[in-house]
Amino acid sequence: MRILLFSLLLLVSSQAFSKQLVLIQGYLGQPSSWSDSGIAQLLDYNGWAYAGEFIYASDGARLMVPVSLKSRQPTAHKFYRVSLPTESSIQNQAYYLTAYLMKLREYYPQQEIVLVGHSAGGVLARYVMVKKPELNIDMLITIASPHLGTDSAELGKLVGDSPLAWIAPMVGAGTINRSQGLYSDLLPEMPHRFLYWLNRQPHPDAEYISIVRDQQSPDGGDFIVSQNSQFLENVYSLRYRASSYVVQGSHGLTSADGMILLDLISERQMPRLSTNHSNSKTGTVL
């Protein structure tokens, strides 16, 4: 009887402290972006079990678990991928992501949920947290995300509003026309624009961390999103609550991002080096 009770206590304890990690790709990204970059493999090697991909079907959100995973030994910490229409507006993508997170909350009502968003995926995740605080997301980590907008979106809007929009599909650039709603959402912050509104909304209690590309990186840094736009501390509603890690690299995901993620979600101490930006930490990641 004592052995059974002890086993039950262990089971409840492990469930209470386990974490669910949701990986959210950016513009034109795929669920496979996390494995193509080596991040998924790093998570798996360090004890985080891939638990499937959320898709949206005729009956709503559904978790697709490969047969090969069903026979694996269960682990405490799990990570998931999501299927999203990444060319759509933030609001449209939020419909899908919200459904996925609600389903995940049904599975794990008490466990910690961590969102990781790359590029536009970080803005999307933050928008969902603002609109649905009842999801009780515990942590948001963004990677190279345009929290203050990006000039690249402005360029995309200009092309979409010009005669070049007629030519784009003929040269394989139809995404420019399909992405006009998203470009509008990611225009540089100013009054009456989406990001100006979002950045001034109350944000739920959670830990907010941004991974920022150093503009002084040897390869030139991020040509898609400016370094200043990537800092969550620069979001008006998070100016005293967020923290950042400045690392070398360009806009895309790399395995180095996986190493930082492991440090953050495993609650290991990151290196604290000198920085000229308030509340941020810098590290050399090659």
Give per-residue pLDDT as tens, 125-175: 999 999 999 999 999 999 999 999 999 999 999 988 777 666 666 546 689
Q: Give a yes or no: residue 50 inside a domain.
A: yes
Q: Please provide the average confidence, as pLDDT, over all residues in the chain.
A: 87
At 10 the pLDDT is 37
Q: Give a yes or no: residue 181 inside a domain.
A: no
Q: Give a yes or no: residue 275 inside a domain.
A: yes
CA torsion through residues 101, 77, 203, 231, sign: negative
Q: Give a yes or no: residue 271 inside a domain.
A: yes
**Strands of 243-247's sheet, edge to edge?**
60-64, 49-57, 78-82, 19-24, 112-118, 139-143, 207-213, 243-247, 280-282
At 17 the pLDDT is 65
Q: Which helix (H) or strand (E) holds 56?
A: strand 49-57
At 267 the pLDDT is 63
Q: Give a yes or no: residue 176 inside a domain.
A: no
Residue owning tokens 């991928």: 81
Q: What range defines the domain where residue 201 resides? A: 19-150+186-282
Q: Which helix (H) or strand (E) holds 43?
A: helix 39-45
pLDDT band at 274 (very low <50, low <70, confident <90, very high): very low
> With left for phi above 0 and alpha for psi between -120 and 50, is residue 194 left, alpha or beta?
alpha
pLDDT band at 13 (very low <50, low <70, confident <90, very high): very low
**pLDDT tens, residue by residue, 39-94:** 999 999 999 999 999 999 999 999 999 877 665 666 679 999 999 999 999 999 99
Residue 156 burial (CB count, 10 A): 22
Q: Give a yes or no: residue 127 inside a domain.
A: yes
CATH no. for residue 66? 3.40.50.1820
Q: What global pTM score does this model have?
A: 0.88
**pLDDT tens, residue by residue, 207-247:** 999 999 999 988 889 999 999 999 999 999 999 999 999 99
**Is 64 in a helix, a strand, or coil?**
strand
Residue 66 burial (CB count, 10 A): 11
Q: Give a yes or no: residue 35 inside a domain.
A: yes
**Is 207 in a helix, a strand, or coil?**
strand
Q: Give a yes or no: residue 200 inside a domain.
A: yes
**Residue scoring higher pLDDT (282 or 91):** 91
Domains held by the chain: number: 1
pLDDT > 70 fraction of the chain, expressed in percent and rounded? 81
Rounded CA separation 230/264 (Å): 17
Q: Are 159 and 165 in contact (CB under 8 A)?
A: yes
